[in-house]
Amino acid sequence: MGANSYNICPRCGNSNSLSAKYCSRCGGQLKVPEEPVVCHKCHTHNSPIANFCRNCGAELKVGLETKICPRCGKEVDAHDNVCACGYSFVTFQQTAPKPVPLPRDVAASSAKSGDKVRNTKGGRGWAVVLLVVVLLFAYYLMVPATVSKLRPAALNNLDGGLEAKAGVQQYGADIIINLINEAKAGNFVQVGVPNIILGVLVAITALTMVVSLVIYIVRLCVGKRPKRGNGYYFVMFVFSLIVCGLFLLFNHFQFNIAFIQKIGNQFLLPEGYTLGYAIWGIPAYYLLSFLFGLGFRAKVLKEHK
Angle between helices 281-296 and 231-252 (to 10 degrees): 160
Dihedral over Cα of 157, 160, 163, 166: its sign: positive
Confidence at residue 236, expressed as pLDDT on a 0 to 100 scale: 94
Tens-digit pLDDT profile for residues 253-278? 776 667 677 777 778 888 888 888 89
**Are the beta carbons of 225 and 296 closer than 8 angstroms?**
yes
Residue 305: per-residue pLDDT: 40
Report how far apart, in Å, the C-alpha atoms of 245 and of each of 41, 153, 282 are.
88, 26, 12
pTM above 0.95, yes or no: no
Per-residue pLDDT reduced to its tens digit, 110-135? 445 444 555 566 677 878 888 999 99
Mean pLDDT of the chain: 76
Transcribe 214-227 into DSSP letters.
HHHHHHHHH----S
Average pLDDT rounded to a whole number, residues 241-260: 81
Phi, psi of 245 (to 5 degrees): -65, -40
Residue 228 is given by DSSP the state: S
Contact at 8 Å (CB) between 83 and 71?
yes
Q: What pLDDT is attached to residue 121?
A: 66
Which contacts qualify for 133-139: CB closer than 8 Å, 24 or more apart?
A: 133/288, 133/289, 133/292, 134/209, 134/212, 134/213, 134/216, 134/289, 135/213, 137/209, 137/281, 137/284, 137/285, 137/288, 138/206, 138/209, 138/213
